[in-house]
Structures are given as structure tokens and as C-alpha cells.
A and B are shown apart, each in its own frame.
Chain A
Amino acid sequence: MQDVLYYVFCAMLVGGALGVIIIRDFVNSAMSMLLSMLGAAGLMLLMHAYFAAFIMVSVYGGAVMVLFVFVVMLIGDKLEQRHWGKRLALFVVWALLCALSGVFVPSLLDGAPRPMPSAGVLANINAYGACLLTKFILPLQVVGVLLLAAVVGVVAIAKPEARGKHKSDML
């Protein structure tokens, strides 16, 4: 049963992730991302990391919805334009990705079966919170700054569309 679930969740995760980059329709691409997130959450459940799994669903489930709205509002259902430069860039990215995974996880290449990693059972939420705000305070701050940068970036990207137009022209 666990094995079947494992393969189902893996298929969701990998299929969704591939869908994000392969499907040319933006909305389907965003929905593949949701599928991928749910697959990842399912894998975490199998590893007994219940808290992380449902935080994943809660945070990323909501995030994909925001993404969806952004995609629909900013792009609509236009298909991405084909361009040879983009194809070249994509090729380079794929090559780099393969090289990176080969360098960082060389054990992937031999294809030998491995036991499922266990994600350590969390004692309680209090311990988790204390851990997050003492031991991992620096990563937490860095992530906060990164997110802030992302927010500013989104505003910068979304803004020029509206700039210069009279206020009454906008919805």
C-alpha cells in the first residue's frame, strides 16, 4: 500500500514539475505546479513529516492560487511565443541542471534502491517554534529578505503596464 502511494505521489510530483516547464498554456502550467506541491506533501506524509506536509498544502496551495490570479490577470490565455533564443536558453538550462544533479547527487546515477529517508518526528509545535527562532534564526531572516525582494520585484514588473494611463482608464 505504502509503495503504491509512494509511486502515485512521485508521479504527481515529477509529472507536475515537468508540466510546469513543458506545458505551454500558462494556466495549465500553474495547475501542474499545484499537482506537484500536493505530490510533495504526500511524500512528506509518507515520511511521517505531517506538520511540514500540511504547511506545504496550506502555504503553497494558497501561493499557487495567487500565482493563478497573477497569470490570468497579467498574461491571460495567450500562448508563449516561440523564439530560437528561448530554445537555446532552455537547452543551456537543461544541460546545466543535468550537470548540477550529477555533481551534487552522484549516487543518483548508479540507480541502486535506497530506503525511504525519515524526516525525524517532531516532538511538538512549541519545540518547532523555539528551534525556528533560535537555531535557524539566520535562514529565517534571509528567507524573509528574499521574499521582500520578490514582492518588490513583482510590483516592479506589474507596474509599468498601468503607468502613464489616466486613473479612470483603469478598472
Chain B
Amino acid sequence: MQSYHIFSDCALINGAIYFGLSVLCVFIIMAFAGLSVVAERKVCAYIQGRWGPNRTAIAVVEDIPFVGNFLKKNGLMQLAADGLKFLLKEDPLPKHVKKIWYMLAPVMALAPVLIVAGVIPFGVYWQDGRAYPVSIANIDISLLVALAVGGLGVYGAIMAGWSSNSKYPYLGAMRAAAQVISYELAMGLSVLPVILMASYNGVSALSIFEIAKMQSGDVWLCMLQPLSALIFLVALFAETNRLPFDMAESETDFVSGYHTEYGSFKFGLFFVGEYGHVVVGSALFIALFLGGWDPLPGCDWPSSWGIVSTLLSVATFLVKVAFMVVFFIWIRWTVPRFRNDQVMTLGWKCLVPLAALNFVAYLIYTSIA
């Protein structure tokens, strides 16, 4: 198993290049997370018939013709204001918290997301007639890595709720734990048919890249496995703690849920962690079910174009991620929040049995056909 591309014979230079690429990957995820914050405010404003942020402006930048006005109208300078606010505000450390866990929790909320981003195939490149993913690490069990490490993100919420030593965060953390336990099961079960399908096609079945490549120039898996895709998507909403599943935060019952006691940059990390999770989760969904870097079902970027195709594939993937993020936001401002018991009922009595049935049905289908 060659898990990485060798750029140079010198291990040090190779390592430096990989370090640079990882930083670039983190920047891309962070940029997407930041832009999704703006998109959230803008999309929700349009859904509610408002304009959203369109006044904030930095004095000098505002005066640049066209660009300044564009940034101002689209709320992009609001993003800078929000970010700086998190950075510059006083960083409170309440007296009653358990300090180590309290400080560790925001890191635990963001770090797994950035790790998972390392195995996402953002595109494809060809070398000696073989396709390789445009990702930091090309490992053949990347799907398992994504599910395993992505699941660790909830420890951020749990640690925050526990260490805050206060009622609402605590209840939020308990809900987060219950929710993740129930929906991770459904998520794992829902990808089983996909893994099985990939393994019938003789490819490394637990690799996100191989599963995405299988759909390249073919029908997308969301058409072949619609139920799997639906269950995965619902579980993804639950995993990322997005409305209608944001039981852990649920500001109508819990003030602000698990991060009630947090302020300034620590809260900012939770915030970025949530949007980062949305971005990486979208990327995962696209690679598994929405054809990866293909523009349309049944049509792909030809390998004969070389580097042009590679750039186009990355661009296609990022555009799809952007669409997926807007879809996440759209759902959030359309569907009201569930009650906690409804979330549990949906998870255990609907999604888990459906996912299991789907898997068994696919098993029966393949053994007959």
C-alpha cells in the first residue's frame, strides 16, 4: 500500500511539502467554514425576506471600486468583523469549571474535523495510467478513518458540558452523547451496502477514493442506493448537530447548550468546528453518494486532459461542497427543531431498522442476481 505521493527523494523535503499541503488543506476547510457562516446569515435572510448583513465595511477596502461594494453587499467584511471579535474579546475563565477539560473541549471539537479533511479526495490526478486522489493521505481504509475520527468530535461537546459544571451545558452534553450513539449506528449501517457494492467491483472497499472513482463516468450511488443516501444524510445532520437535530445546543430549552459557559475565542472554535464538520461531512457525502468530482452522472473529466482535468475535478468538487453547504443551511431554516424524544424515536425506531433492512435487502438482491 503506497499511502502517499513521493515528491522528492529527500525525506525532509517530502515532509516539508506534506506539511505545506496539510496547512493548505486546513486553510481551505477554514475558508469554507468562514464562508458558510456568511452564507448562513445571507441564506437565512433571503429565506426570511431580509437582506442580511450588508453594511459592515472596512474604511479603505470599501473605497475600492466594484470590489469594495461587492464585499460590503455580500457581508464578506462582516466575516472579518465577526472573526476579529472572537479574537479580541476578553477570554473569560469561569471560577467553577474544571480547567483542563474546559480548555481542551474546544480543541477536541475542531481537531477531528481537520484530521478527517486529510483523507477526503478533493479531486483526481493521473500518473502512469493510474488514478490517484488529490488528498493529503491516500489510505485504503479512509472511510473507516472518516467515520472513526469524525465520531470523536462529540467528545468536544461532552467535555464542554461536563467541565462547565453547570446545569444547561450538562444536559446539552448528555443529549449530544445520546444522539451521537444512536445516529452513528444508523450511519455505519447505511454505508454497508455501498461498501459491499464496492467490494463486488473488486476495489478496495473501505477507501473513499475508490468508492468515488467507481461512480466516475457511471451513475451516482445516490441513484443506486437512494435509501442508504437518505439515511446517511439524515445521520450526517444529526452528527453535525445541525438543526433540526441541534439537541445539544437547543437554545430554546438550554440557553446555548453545551457551550453556554464559553466566550470569545473558545466559543469561536466550537463555532468553526461545527461549520468545519458541515463542510467535511458534505465532502464525505459527495464523495460517497454524489459522484465525487464528476460534473454530471455518466460524464467525467477525461484523463487525457491531464492537469486541466485535475484542476477541473477539484473545482467541481468544491462547487458541489458549496451547494451541499447551502443545502444544509436551507434545511436549517426550513424545518423546525425536533423534540428530544422525537430525535430518539427517529433514530432507533426508524433509521436503524431501515438501514439494517436496506442492508439485508441488498444482500438478498446480490445473492439472487
Contacts and interface: CB of A to CB of B under 8 A. Distances in A.
A125 B142 CA distance: 13
Contacts of B145: 54
Interface in A58-77: 58, 61-62, 65-66, 68-69, 72-73
A50 B141 contact: yes
Given A54-B141, A54-B144, A65 B206 contact: no
B181 A57 contact: no
A129 to B, nearest CB: 9
Interface string A37-68: 00000000000001100110110011001101
B289 interface: no
Interface string B125-166: 000000000000001110011011101101100110010000
Contacts of A20: none
B180 A65 contact: yes
Contacts of A27: 162
Nearest to B158: A68
A57 B152 contact: yes
A64 to B, nearest CB: 9
Interface in A79-131: 121, 124-126
A16 to B, nearest CB: 14
A121 B174 CA distance: 39
Nearest to A48: B1
B134 to A, nearest CB: 21
B204 A54 contact: no
Name, among B141, B178, B184, B199, the residue most crowded by chain A CB atoms within 10 Å (CB to CB). Answer: B141
Interface residues of A, number: 21
B178 A51 contact: no
B101 interface: yes
Contacts of B144: 51, 54-55, 58
A11 to B, nearest CB: 17
B148 A124 contact: no
A11 B340 CA distance: 40
Contacts of B154: 65
Nearest to B11: A1
B177 interface: yes
B152 A69 contact: no
A85 to B, nearest CB: 30
Contact of B151 (A61, A66, A126): A61
Contact of A62 (B141, B151, B178): B151
A62 B204 CA distance: 25
A65 B199 contact: no
B162 A57 contact: no
Contact of A68 (B139, B149, B177, B205): B177
Contact of A65 (B149, B158, B205): B158
A10 interface: no
A58 B145 CA distance: 8
Contact of A125 (B162, B178, B181, B199): B199
A12 interface: no
Contacts of A125: 141, 199, 204-206
A162 B184 CA distance: 28
A50 B162 CA distance: 32
Interface in B196-238: 199, 204-206
A125 B204 CA distance: 8
A69 B177 contact: yes
6 contacts: A27-B162, A54-B149, A69-B174, A72-B162, A72-B174, A124-B205
Q: Which are the 6 A-B pairs with shortest beta-carbon distances?
A: A58-B148, A57-B148, A54-B148, A54-B144, A69-B177, A54-B145
Given A62-B151, A72-B174, 20 more contacts: A50-B139, A54-B141, A54-B144, A55-B144, A57-B148, A58-B144, A58-B148, A61-B151, A62-B181, A65-B180, A66-B181, A68-B158, A69-B174, A69-B177, A72-B162, A124-B205, A125-B199, A125-B205, A125-B206, A126-B199
